[in-house]
Amino acid sequence: MRTQVAIIGAGPSGLLLGQLLHKAGIDAVIVERQSGDYVLGRIRAGVLEQVCIDLLDEAGIGQRMHQEGLVHGGFDMLFKGERHRIDMNRLTGGKNVMVYGQTEVTRDLMDARQAAGLTTIYEAGKVSVHGFDTNKPRVRYEKDGQTHEIECDFIAGCDGFHGVCRASVPDGAVSEYEKIYPFGWLGVLSETPPVHHELIYVNSTRGFALCSQRSATRSRYYLQVPLTDKVEAWSDDAFWNELRLRLDAGGRDKLVTGPSIEKSIAPLRSFVAEPMRFGRMFLAGDAAHIVPPTGAKGLNLAATDVKYLSGAFIEFYAEKSEAGIDTYSERCLKRIWRAERFSWWFTSLMHHFPENGPIGQKLQDAELDYIVHSETGARSVAENYVGLPLDFGT
Protein backbone atom coordinates (compact mmCIF):
# COMPACT_ATOMS: atom_id res chain seq x y z
CA MET A 1 0.00 0.00 0.00
CA ARG A 2 1.14 3.54 -0.77
CA THR A 3 -0.03 6.72 0.93
CA GLN A 4 1.30 10.21 1.55
CA VAL A 5 1.00 10.21 5.36
CA ALA A 6 0.80 7.10 7.55
CA ILE A 7 -0.83 7.95 10.87
CA ILE A 8 -0.22 5.58 13.79
CA GLY A 9 -3.07 5.76 16.29
CA ALA A 10 -6.83 6.31 15.85
CA GLY A 11 -7.40 8.39 18.94
CA PRO A 12 -8.63 11.98 18.62
CA SER A 13 -5.25 13.38 17.53
CA GLY A 14 -4.74 10.78 14.76
CA LEU A 15 -8.34 11.05 13.55
CA LEU A 16 -8.26 14.85 13.61
CA LEU A 17 -5.01 14.91 11.64
CA GLY A 18 -6.49 12.51 9.11
CA GLN A 19 -9.61 14.63 8.72
CA LEU A 20 -7.68 17.87 8.21
CA LEU A 21 -5.40 16.24 5.64
CA HIS A 22 -8.43 14.79 3.82
CA LYS A 23 -9.99 18.26 3.65
CA ALA A 24 -6.74 19.48 2.05
CA GLY A 25 -6.66 16.66 -0.52
CA ILE A 26 -3.79 14.77 1.14
CA ASP A 27 -4.05 10.98 1.33
CA ALA A 28 -3.58 9.45 4.78
CA VAL A 29 -4.03 5.93 6.18
CA ILE A 30 -4.58 5.39 9.90
CA VAL A 31 -3.27 2.27 11.63
CA GLU A 32 -4.64 1.38 15.09
CA ARG A 33 -3.76 -1.66 17.20
CA GLN A 34 -7.07 -1.67 19.09
CA SER A 35 -10.63 -2.08 17.84
CA GLY A 36 -12.85 0.89 17.13
CA ASP A 37 -15.13 -0.06 20.03
CA TYR A 38 -12.15 -0.12 22.39
CA VAL A 39 -11.06 3.35 21.28
CA LEU A 40 -14.56 4.70 21.86
CA GLY A 41 -14.70 3.04 25.27
CA ARG A 42 -11.84 5.11 26.68
CA ILE A 43 -13.29 7.74 29.04
CA ARG A 44 -11.14 10.86 29.01
CA ALA A 45 -11.31 14.61 29.50
CA GLY A 46 -13.96 16.88 28.11
CA VAL A 47 -12.97 20.56 28.44
CA LEU A 48 -12.19 22.17 25.08
CA GLU A 49 -10.34 25.44 24.57
CA GLN A 50 -11.35 27.82 21.78
CA VAL A 51 -8.33 26.75 19.70
CA CYS A 52 -9.56 23.16 19.81
CA ILE A 53 -13.17 24.18 19.08
CA ASP A 54 -12.04 26.20 16.05
CA LEU A 55 -9.97 23.28 14.75
CA LEU A 56 -12.90 20.85 15.02
CA ASP A 57 -15.00 23.36 13.07
CA GLU A 58 -12.24 23.61 10.47
CA ALA A 59 -12.28 19.83 10.19
CA GLY A 60 -16.01 20.01 9.48
CA ILE A 61 -17.15 17.95 12.46
CA GLY A 62 -18.27 20.62 14.94
CA GLN A 63 -22.03 20.56 14.40
CA ARG A 64 -22.98 18.13 17.19
CA MET A 65 -20.40 19.71 19.51
CA HIS A 66 -22.14 23.09 19.21
CA GLN A 67 -25.56 21.48 19.69
CA GLU A 68 -24.73 19.37 22.73
CA GLY A 69 -21.62 20.98 24.25
CA LEU A 70 -21.92 23.03 27.44
CA VAL A 71 -20.34 26.50 27.27
CA HIS A 72 -18.68 27.48 30.56
CA GLY A 73 -17.65 31.04 31.34
CA GLY A 74 -16.11 30.25 34.71
CA PHE A 75 -15.48 27.68 37.42
CA ASP A 76 -15.53 27.52 41.21
CA MET A 77 -12.57 27.02 43.54
CA LEU A 78 -13.57 25.56 46.91
CA PHE A 79 -11.20 25.80 49.87
CA LYS A 80 -11.60 26.22 53.62
CA GLY A 81 -15.28 25.39 53.15
CA GLU A 82 -16.07 28.34 50.85
CA ARG A 83 -16.50 28.62 47.09
CA HIS A 84 -15.05 31.38 44.92
CA ARG A 85 -15.86 31.77 41.22
CA ILE A 86 -13.18 32.47 38.60
CA ASP A 87 -15.05 34.51 35.98
CA MET A 88 -13.06 33.46 32.91
CA ASN A 89 -15.33 35.26 30.46
CA ARG A 90 -14.90 38.64 32.15
CA LEU A 91 -11.23 38.22 32.99
CA THR A 92 -10.20 37.18 29.46
CA GLY A 93 -12.29 39.58 27.40
CA GLY A 94 -15.09 37.18 26.49
CA LYS A 95 -13.37 33.78 26.21
CA ASN A 96 -15.01 30.56 27.38
CA VAL A 97 -14.40 26.82 27.33
CA MET A 98 -16.78 24.07 26.19
CA VAL A 99 -17.51 20.84 28.03
CA TYR A 100 -17.84 18.09 25.41
CA GLY A 101 -16.49 14.63 26.11
CA GLN A 102 -13.40 13.37 24.32
CA THR A 103 -15.35 10.20 23.55
CA GLU A 104 -17.86 12.33 21.62
CA VAL A 105 -15.07 14.12 19.71
CA THR A 106 -13.65 10.71 18.77
CA ARG A 107 -17.07 9.46 17.69
CA ASP A 108 -17.66 12.53 15.48
CA LEU A 109 -14.27 12.09 13.83
CA MET A 110 -14.82 8.36 13.30
CA ASP A 111 -18.22 8.99 11.71
CA ALA A 112 -16.77 11.63 9.37
CA ARG A 113 -13.93 9.33 8.32
CA GLN A 114 -16.28 6.43 7.64
CA ALA A 115 -18.69 8.66 5.69
CA ALA A 116 -15.79 9.80 3.48
CA GLY A 117 -14.72 6.21 2.83
CA LEU A 118 -11.22 6.76 4.20
CA THR A 119 -8.95 3.88 5.24
CA THR A 120 -8.56 3.08 8.93
CA ILE A 121 -6.97 -0.25 9.82
CA TYR A 122 -8.14 -1.39 13.25
CA GLU A 123 -6.76 -4.33 15.24
CA ALA A 124 -3.39 -4.10 13.51
CA GLY A 125 -0.86 -6.30 15.28
CA LYS A 126 2.90 -5.91 15.68
CA VAL A 127 2.95 -2.36 14.26
CA SER A 128 6.48 -1.15 13.50
CA VAL A 129 8.01 1.90 11.81
CA HIS A 130 11.04 1.79 9.52
CA GLY A 131 13.21 4.09 7.45
CA PHE A 132 11.96 7.32 9.00
CA ASP A 133 15.51 8.65 8.83
CA THR A 134 15.35 8.28 5.02
CA ASN A 135 13.08 9.61 2.26
CA LYS A 136 11.23 6.29 2.13
CA PRO A 137 9.64 5.60 5.52
CA ARG A 138 7.49 2.49 5.94
CA VAL A 139 4.99 1.09 8.41
CA ARG A 140 4.55 -2.65 8.91
CA TYR A 141 1.75 -4.46 10.70
CA GLU A 142 0.03 -7.83 10.87
CA LYS A 143 -3.64 -8.34 10.07
CA ASP A 144 -5.57 -11.58 9.59
CA GLY A 145 -2.40 -13.61 9.81
CA GLN A 146 -0.56 -11.67 7.08
CA THR A 147 2.18 -9.04 7.20
CA HIS A 148 1.42 -5.76 5.41
CA GLU A 149 3.60 -2.76 4.59
CA ILE A 150 2.64 0.86 3.93
CA GLU A 151 5.04 3.05 1.97
CA CYS A 152 4.66 6.74 2.70
CA ASP A 153 6.26 10.18 2.65
CA PHE A 154 5.79 10.85 6.37
CA ILE A 155 4.84 9.01 9.56
CA ALA A 156 2.72 10.75 12.22
CA GLY A 157 3.08 9.13 15.63
CA CYS A 158 -0.27 9.74 17.33
CA ASP A 159 -0.11 6.44 19.21
CA GLY A 160 0.00 7.60 22.81
CA PHE A 161 2.44 7.39 25.69
CA HIS A 162 3.04 3.63 25.29
CA GLY A 163 3.05 3.69 21.48
CA VAL A 164 5.62 2.27 19.11
CA CYS A 165 6.74 5.54 17.46
CA ARG A 166 8.62 7.20 20.31
CA ALA A 167 9.89 3.78 21.42
CA SER A 168 11.45 3.31 17.96
CA VAL A 169 13.65 6.41 18.20
CA PRO A 170 17.35 5.50 18.62
CA ASP A 171 18.86 5.80 22.09
CA GLY A 172 20.20 9.27 22.72
CA ALA A 173 18.07 10.93 20.04
CA VAL A 174 15.32 11.99 22.44
CA SER A 175 15.38 13.63 25.87
CA GLU A 176 12.55 12.78 28.27
CA TYR A 177 11.43 14.89 31.23
CA GLU A 178 9.05 13.34 33.74
CA LYS A 179 7.45 13.93 37.13
CA ILE A 180 5.34 11.19 38.76
CA TYR A 181 2.83 12.41 41.34
CA PRO A 182 2.29 10.34 44.52
CA PHE A 183 -1.47 10.00 43.97
CA GLY A 184 -4.09 9.30 41.32
CA TRP A 185 -7.63 10.35 40.42
CA LEU A 186 -10.47 7.97 41.20
CA GLY A 187 -13.10 8.88 38.61
CA VAL A 188 -16.79 8.00 38.51
CA LEU A 189 -19.20 8.56 35.62
CA SER A 190 -22.89 8.48 36.53
CA GLU A 191 -26.27 9.16 34.95
CA THR A 192 -27.06 11.90 37.47
CA PRO A 193 -27.52 15.68 37.10
CA PRO A 194 -24.35 17.67 37.92
CA VAL A 195 -24.01 19.13 41.38
CA HIS A 196 -23.32 22.54 39.78
CA HIS A 197 -23.70 24.07 36.31
CA GLU A 198 -19.94 24.75 36.17
CA LEU A 199 -16.90 22.81 37.40
CA ILE A 200 -15.92 22.87 41.06
CA TYR A 201 -12.24 22.40 41.95
CA VAL A 202 -11.89 21.38 45.61
CA ASN A 203 -8.88 21.83 47.88
CA SER A 204 -9.57 19.83 51.05
CA THR A 205 -7.46 18.50 53.90
CA ARG A 206 -8.91 15.10 52.90
CA GLY A 207 -7.60 15.53 49.35
CA PHE A 208 -8.54 17.10 46.04
CA ALA A 209 -11.92 16.61 44.39
CA LEU A 210 -13.41 17.73 41.08
CA CYS A 211 -17.09 18.00 40.19
CA SER A 212 -17.51 17.97 36.42
CA GLN A 213 -20.12 16.92 33.87
CA ARG A 214 -20.64 15.58 30.37
CA SER A 215 -24.23 16.80 29.93
CA ALA A 216 -27.19 18.10 31.91
CA THR A 217 -27.92 14.51 32.98
CA ARG A 218 -24.46 12.90 33.11
CA SER A 219 -21.85 13.76 35.75
CA ARG A 220 -18.15 13.06 36.12
CA TYR A 221 -16.54 13.23 39.57
CA TYR A 222 -12.98 12.67 40.76
CA LEU A 223 -11.26 12.09 44.09
CA GLN A 224 -7.57 12.25 44.90
CA VAL A 225 -6.52 8.80 46.18
CA PRO A 226 -3.18 7.10 46.98
CA LEU A 227 -1.54 5.23 44.12
CA THR A 228 -1.80 2.08 46.24
CA ASP A 229 -5.62 2.16 46.11
CA LYS A 230 -7.46 -0.35 43.94
CA VAL A 231 -10.64 0.60 42.13
CA GLU A 232 -12.27 -2.64 43.29
CA ALA A 233 -11.96 -1.46 46.89
CA TRP A 234 -14.13 1.59 46.21
CA SER A 235 -17.84 0.83 46.25
CA ASP A 236 -20.21 3.46 44.85
CA ASP A 237 -21.41 4.27 48.38
CA ALA A 238 -17.83 4.74 49.59
CA PHE A 239 -17.12 7.11 46.71
CA TRP A 240 -20.22 9.26 47.29
CA ASN A 241 -19.60 9.38 51.05
CA GLU A 242 -16.03 10.55 50.57
CA LEU A 243 -17.07 13.15 47.99
CA ARG A 244 -19.61 14.57 50.45
CA LEU A 245 -16.88 14.97 53.06
CA ARG A 246 -14.82 17.07 50.63
CA LEU A 247 -17.68 19.31 49.44
CA ASP A 248 -19.21 22.37 51.08
CA ALA A 249 -22.69 22.34 52.61
CA GLY A 250 -24.29 23.65 49.40
CA GLY A 251 -22.62 20.94 47.34
CA ARG A 252 -23.69 18.19 49.73
CA ASP A 253 -27.29 19.38 49.60
CA LYS A 254 -27.39 19.36 45.78
CA LEU A 255 -25.39 16.19 45.16
CA VAL A 256 -27.47 13.53 43.40
CA THR A 257 -25.96 10.06 43.63
CA GLY A 258 -26.55 6.92 41.62
CA PRO A 259 -24.87 3.80 40.24
CA SER A 260 -21.55 4.36 38.49
CA ILE A 261 -21.45 3.49 34.80
CA GLU A 262 -17.66 3.73 34.73
CA LYS A 263 -15.09 3.80 37.50
CA SER A 264 -11.30 3.93 37.22
CA ILE A 265 -8.12 5.23 38.83
CA ALA A 266 -5.72 7.26 36.68
CA PRO A 267 -2.17 8.07 37.84
CA LEU A 268 -0.92 11.63 37.37
CA ARG A 269 2.31 12.54 35.61
CA SER A 270 4.01 15.39 33.79
CA PHE A 271 6.01 14.21 30.78
CA VAL A 272 7.67 15.82 27.75
CA ALA A 273 9.81 14.26 25.02
CA GLU A 274 12.14 16.49 22.99
CA PRO A 275 12.35 16.85 20.04
CA MET A 276 9.09 15.84 18.36
CA ARG A 277 10.55 15.27 14.90
CA PHE A 278 12.89 12.46 13.85
CA GLY A 279 13.61 12.67 10.14
CA ARG A 280 10.27 11.96 8.49
CA MET A 281 8.51 10.82 11.65
CA PHE A 282 6.66 13.28 13.88
CA LEU A 283 5.18 12.80 17.35
CA ALA A 284 1.89 14.39 18.35
CA GLY A 285 -0.35 14.30 21.42
CA ASP A 286 0.33 11.82 24.24
CA ALA A 287 3.17 10.25 22.28
CA ALA A 288 5.17 13.41 23.03
CA HIS A 289 3.69 14.84 26.23
CA ILE A 290 1.42 14.10 29.19
CA VAL A 291 -0.04 16.69 31.55
CA PRO A 292 -1.87 16.17 34.84
CA PRO A 293 -5.61 16.49 34.10
CA THR A 294 -6.02 19.29 36.64
CA GLY A 295 -5.57 22.01 34.02
CA ALA A 296 -7.63 20.28 31.29
CA LYS A 297 -4.81 20.60 28.75
CA GLY A 298 -4.27 17.08 27.36
CA LEU A 299 -6.67 17.02 24.42
CA ASN A 300 -6.16 20.71 23.75
CA LEU A 301 -2.38 20.33 23.48
CA ALA A 302 -2.86 17.37 21.14
CA ALA A 303 -5.15 19.48 18.96
CA THR A 304 -2.52 22.23 18.78
CA ASP A 305 0.12 19.69 17.73
CA VAL A 306 -2.23 18.52 14.99
CA LYS A 307 -2.87 22.08 13.86
CA TYR A 308 0.86 22.72 13.43
CA LEU A 309 1.53 19.30 11.85
CA SER A 310 -1.35 19.40 9.38
CA GLY A 311 -0.31 22.91 8.39
CA ALA A 312 3.26 21.74 7.84
CA PHE A 313 2.15 18.84 5.61
CA ILE A 314 -0.24 21.04 3.64
CA GLU A 315 2.52 23.59 3.09
CA PHE A 316 4.90 20.84 1.97
CA TYR A 317 2.54 19.43 -0.67
CA ALA A 318 1.07 22.75 -1.84
CA GLU A 319 4.19 24.92 -1.84
CA LYS A 320 7.05 22.39 -1.82
CA SER A 321 8.27 24.11 1.35
CA GLU A 322 9.72 22.37 4.40
CA ALA A 323 9.56 25.45 6.63
CA GLY A 324 6.62 24.17 8.66
CA ILE A 325 8.18 20.73 8.98
CA ASP A 326 11.48 22.17 10.14
CA THR A 327 9.88 24.38 12.84
CA TYR A 328 7.18 21.91 13.98
CA SER A 329 8.95 20.63 17.08
CA GLU A 330 10.08 24.06 18.28
CA ARG A 331 6.64 25.63 17.85
CA CYS A 332 4.88 22.79 19.63
CA LEU A 333 7.30 22.60 22.54
CA LYS A 334 7.05 26.30 23.33
CA ARG A 335 3.30 25.91 23.85
CA ILE A 336 3.63 22.52 25.54
CA TRP A 337 5.99 23.76 28.25
CA ARG A 338 3.67 26.66 29.06
CA ALA A 339 0.78 24.24 29.47
CA GLU A 340 2.97 21.86 31.49
CA ARG A 341 3.86 24.72 33.83
CA PHE A 342 0.23 25.68 34.40
CA SER A 343 -0.89 22.06 34.91
CA TRP A 344 1.96 21.43 37.38
CA TRP A 345 1.21 24.66 39.27
CA PHE A 346 -2.56 24.02 39.42
CA THR A 347 -1.98 20.42 40.52
CA SER A 348 0.45 21.55 43.23
CA LEU A 349 -2.04 24.18 44.41
CA MET A 350 -5.20 22.05 44.60
CA HIS A 351 -4.01 18.64 45.85
CA HIS A 352 -3.16 17.51 49.36
CA PHE A 353 0.52 16.67 49.92
CA PRO A 354 0.80 15.12 53.42
CA GLU A 355 4.58 15.10 53.16
CA ASN A 356 4.55 18.92 53.12
CA GLY A 357 3.08 19.03 56.63
CA PRO A 358 0.81 21.72 58.12
CA ILE A 359 2.88 24.52 56.59
CA GLY A 360 2.14 23.14 53.13
CA GLN A 361 -1.60 23.50 53.70
CA LYS A 362 -1.14 27.01 55.10
CA LEU A 363 0.87 28.06 52.05
CA GLN A 364 -1.79 26.63 49.71
CA ASP A 365 -4.47 28.53 51.63
CA ALA A 366 -2.50 31.75 51.30
CA GLU A 367 -1.97 31.26 47.55
CA LEU A 368 -5.66 30.47 47.02
CA ASP A 369 -6.67 33.49 49.08
CA TYR A 370 -4.44 35.71 46.93
CA ILE A 371 -5.89 34.32 43.69
CA VAL A 372 -9.54 34.87 44.60
CA HIS A 373 -8.95 38.35 46.05
CA SER A 374 -6.55 39.65 43.40
CA GLU A 375 -7.71 40.66 39.94
CA THR A 376 -4.21 39.93 38.64
CA GLY A 377 -4.06 36.50 40.27
CA ALA A 378 -7.51 35.50 39.06
CA ARG A 379 -6.78 36.75 35.53
CA SER A 380 -3.60 34.65 35.35
CA VAL A 381 -5.58 31.52 36.24
CA ALA A 382 -8.35 32.40 33.77
CA GLU A 383 -5.98 33.17 30.89
CA ASN A 384 -4.16 29.89 31.26
CA TYR A 385 -7.33 27.86 31.76
CA VAL A 386 -9.08 29.11 28.59
CA GLY A 387 -5.80 28.62 26.70
CA LEU A 388 -3.09 31.04 25.70
CA PRO A 389 -3.34 32.41 22.15
CA LEU A 390 -1.40 30.52 19.49
CA ASP A 391 0.78 33.59 18.87
CA PHE A 392 1.44 34.20 22.59
CA GLY A 393 5.01 35.34 23.12
CA THR A 394 6.01 35.16 19.43
Cβ 69 vs Cβ 186: under 8 Å: no
Characterize 148-175 residue by residue with b for buried, 16 or more Cβ atoms within 10 angstroms of its Cβ, and e for exposed.
Answer: eebebbbbbbbbbeebbbbebbeeeebe
Q: Which of 137, 194, 292, 293 is catalytic?
A: 293
Judge whether 100 counts as a catalytic residue: no
Task: Reply yes or no on whether 72 is catalytic.
Answer: yes
Which residue among the candidates 72, 95, 196, 289 is catalytic per the annotation?
72
> What are the b/e assignments for 291-301, b being 16+ CB within 10 Å?
bbbbbbbbbbb
Residue 297 and residue 47: Cα distance in Å, rounded?
Answer: 8
Is 84 labeled as catalytic in the residue annotation?
Answer: no
180 CB-contact burial (10 Å; exposed 0-12 / middle 13-18 / buried 19+): exposed
- Catalytic residue (one of 95, 196, 297, 307): 297
Annotated active-site residue in 141, 201, 222, 308: 201
Q: Is 148 a catalytic residue?
A: no
202 and 78 Cβ atoms separated by less than 8 Å: yes
141 has catalytic annotation? no
Please identify which of the residues 100, 308, 328, 385 carries the catalytic annotation. Answer: 385
Contact partners, residue 53, CB within 8 Å, separation at least 6? 62, 65, 98
Catalytic residues: 72, 201, 293, 297, 385
